[in-house]
Chains A and B, each alone.
Chain A
Amino acid sequence: MTQSAKQFFDEMQGYGGNVRAIYQAYNRWLSDVPTQQLAAKRAEAEVLFRRVGITFNVYGEEDGAERLIPFDVIPRMISASEWAHLSKGAVQRVRALNMFLHDIYHEQEIIKAGIVPHTILTNSQYRPEMVGVNVPNQVYAHVAGIDLVRTSESQFYVLEDNLRTPSGVSYMLEDRKMMMRLFPDLFRKYPIAPVEHYPHVLLNNLRSVAQTGVTDPTVVLLSPGAYNSAYFEHAFLAQQMGIELVEGQDLFVRNNAVYMRTTQGPQRVDVIYRRIDDDFLDPLVFKPDSLLGVPGLLSVYRNGGVTLANAVGTGVADDKATYVYVPEMIKFYLGESPILQNVPTYQLSKEDDLAYVLDHLPELVVKEVQGSGGYGMLVGPAASKQEIEEFRLRIVSKPANYIAQPTLALSTCPTLVDQGIAPRHVDLRPFVLSGKTVSLVPGGLSRVALKEGSLVVNSSQGGGTKDTWVLERDEVGVESMQSQMAAQQTTKEAVIC
């Protein structure tokens, strides 16, 4: 057992000693499988992923450079009771966030109540264009990715909420498909909750938020195009839902409606699942030089002629500066206590917090409020003295741009690396869908930091993915599996006799 497995909670080993109940059967199976065989399965997966074209493009690399996100063949498991807790918490959180978004673009009661400061209205992600605009069912974040991390047997934290155009769900679905293909036997033995119906739920939700009076809405997915890093996912989801994958050039605005150009002439579009950031949606309102969006789209949207998912201006609610208020939002809007905890967060716009953080930089993680994808952050314990001093200057010049959090002891999960099977840090992003109701499929994207000791799991920083197994029953220990196998054995024998 390596040092890190004792130091950090491990999804399989706990703190060492006994293998956790949900992993026991798997662990027995795993210890019988030679590592070379696992490596061969991984190689097979890579060939298949490349053939299917499950790749992402890397900005700034030469034209056509497509990379695979490393895929790990060892699953991350979540017990039925853990999932019940996490999913309830995620739904609660997204309900509150949707109410918050409606509120700050309407009555702003949470500001009047003094819970969220007025400065939120000057946040760059707050869109004054959305003030007073009514969106169907008051849903803003139709798709939300809630990033969770675990620090002990009983403690999960929400690391951040992604409410703009969260991505990664295609990996949740493709990783599952791959695991079923590589290890069919395990799926027979384990009560693994299915996730394949995600596109179906998403489409139903998108249809449910069309403007009133539209009985058979046309839903499309708006992508920046084939060179976007998440293009595979856009294409994948559009195909799974059976809707058109459109680009800005395919759409146009006429008579307060959005149309797409088809071989049969213009066709009205009712709901746009857009995977383009606010800034690029409409050159008449946002970035004038952008060619990705549709001129006039926002005016149609504001007049209720089309639904955008996610809504414009959701960024203000997933901003790291807003994150600290989410537990308060839950109490304010729902009158409930938060099921999932926030990571303790220092806001450097506050003097006390700033002073503390500047004194403790080597212990903390400092993040840029609007940064994403693991860029623009300082991981104190892993940084050199010089890096810390450079970052200190950046913080001092604009403290409000940063938040800081203690370095979390992220849980690890056994992972196949060059040296064999070793613990690596993981996080989890379940996807919460909001339409007429708020729900999520039992699973999520598990990301894994492949470098030893690294806490950064982003694909842009070399992280990989694993399949996430949410179990439908907690009792999948050795005995139940043995009895299941024994039962199968008996049947077989009975047939032979």
Chain B
Amino acid sequence: MLSRTADHLYWMARYIERTENVARVLDVTYNMSLLPSDSNDEELWDMVLEIAGIRDIYDATYKELNATNVIKHLVMDSNNPSSIYSSLRSARENARAVRVAMTTETWENMNTLWLEFGQYIKQDLTQAGLSEFCEWVKSRSHLFRGVCFGTMLRDEAFSFVRLGTFMERADNTARLLDVKYEFLIPMQEANDGAVDYYEWSAVLRSVSAFQAYQKVYRDAIEPMKVSELLILREDMPRSLHACYAEIMPILRQVAGSRQTEAERLAGQMHAKLHYGRILDIVTGGVHHFLDEFILANRKLGEEIQRNFLSATA
């Protein structure tokens, strides 16, 4: 297929996935801000900016750090490239450019999403409407993956859509865990080892892993197990390992008979996640591990771009 087409499909999927992740973090944070808690609101909303990696852009726009501003910035600010508005617009623009390459259902789904969003941004989402909005974003994202999965031919177009989804998801899960871990571990120590149930369960809920945790561990929520679940468990759909288990065969498939640097990098990371032990990761520092992961994932993204998506003669 055309490199440009593959590029549009890959980024369309990344932007949709990004939207979902922003909505997840916003929703969970908003719900936490409603609970009586030791941590103050400012810290909570600051974390959201850290996870999205947009602290600088925010500071350039707003003087005060509060829920209203952060939500506004992350939902509808067109100056923020990570806002839901910007991501959805980019997703739809990418889709529009290659509507030929996708099924009618996929395209109509994208277009309806955009039109419905137009209705949402007219409302005040900073208050009660936020949760409903985030639910809508998540369900739309589910629908997007479902319609791709249910209607697309298992060809390259499908491969690049899936690749975009898992590359973005891996990045998001890693960032979320990194920021939360850095923030929650000192708190936990100060609390005399007592796990703050709500904080860690919020982390799990933000990646739909709360029920999975209980099923897998049948135990109180502990940071190390949360880390294991989100980094190493292959059966946990949003874990780093699960993402790479998807990415690897896709890269092998789209490379055909070629040897690509992208496939080598993905294989290397997959091996690390497949054979790694959580104790070793905790010993070496979770932050350190995730930092390296985020860099390696970005490098892989660049190689995918170079190997498949950029127009080279």
Q: Which residues of chain A have a CB within 8 Å of any CB of chain B?
A: 50-53, 225-226, 235, 238-239, 244-247, 249-250, 252, 254, 259-264, 266
Contacts and interface: CB of A to CB of B under 8 A. Distances in A.
A287 to B, nearest CB: 22
Contacts of B256: 264
A52 B156 contact: no
Nearest to B93: A226
B100 A238 contact: yes
A226 B115 contact: no
Contacts of A51: 108, 111-112, 115
B311 interface: yes
A138 B108 CA distance: 41
Given A235-B99, A239-B100, A266-B313, A261 B4 contact: yes
Contact of B100 (A50, A235, A252, A262): A235
A250 B96 contact: no
B108 A250 contact: no
A399 to B, nearest CB: 45
23 contacts: A51-B108, A51-B111, A51-B112, A52-B107, A53-B96, A53-B107, A53-B111, A226-B93, A226-B96, A238-B100, A239-B99, A239-B100, A244-B5, A245-B98, A245-B101, A250-B3, A250-B4, A259-B313, A260-B2, A261-B313, A262-B2, A263-B3, A263-B156
A52 B3 contact: no
3 A-B pairs with least C-beta separation = A245-B100, A239-B100, A238-B100
B293 to A, nearest CB: 26
Given A262-B1, A264-B256, A254 B6 contact: no
Given A50-B111, A226-B96, A239-B99, 6 more contacts: A51-B111, A52-B107, A235-B100, A245-B100, A250-B2, A250-B311
Nearest to A225: B97
B115 to A, nearest CB: 7
Contact of A249 (B98, B112, B309, B311): B311
Contacts, number: 63
A53 B2 contact: no
Contacts of B5: 244
Instruction: Give the residue among A226, A252, A254 with the most B Cβ atoms within 10 A.
Output: A226
A51 B104 CA distance: 11
Nearest to B308: A263
Contacts of B96: 53, 226
> Which label, helix, strand, loop or mixed, suits the secondary structure of the A interface?
mixed
A44 to B, nearest CB: 15
Interface in B70-125: 93, 96-101, 104, 107-108, 111-112, 115
Contacts of B312: 261
A307 B179 CA distance: 57
Contact of A50 (B101, B107, B115, B156): B115
B2 to A, nearest CB: 5
Nearest to A221: B100
Contacts of A239: 99-100
Contacts of B97: 225-226
Contacts of B4: 247, 249-250, 261
Contacts of A50: 111, 115
Interface in B1-47: 1-6
Nearest to B6: A263
B254 interface: yes
B269 to A, nearest CB: 22
Contacts of A254: 313
A259 B313 CA distance: 9
A249 B5 CA distance: 12
Contacts of B6: 263
A264 B96 CA distance: 23
A250 to B, nearest CB: 5
A245 B101 CA distance: 8
Contacts of B108: 51-53
Instruction: Give the residue among B4, B6, B97 with the most A Cβ atoms within 10 A.
Output: B4
A245 B8 CA distance: 13
Nearest to B312: A261
A50 B100 CA distance: 17
B301 to A, nearest CB: 16
A225 B100 CA distance: 12
Nearest to B256: A264
B313 A52 contact: no
Nearest to B114: A53
B4 to A, nearest CB: 5
Contacts of A250: 2-4, 311
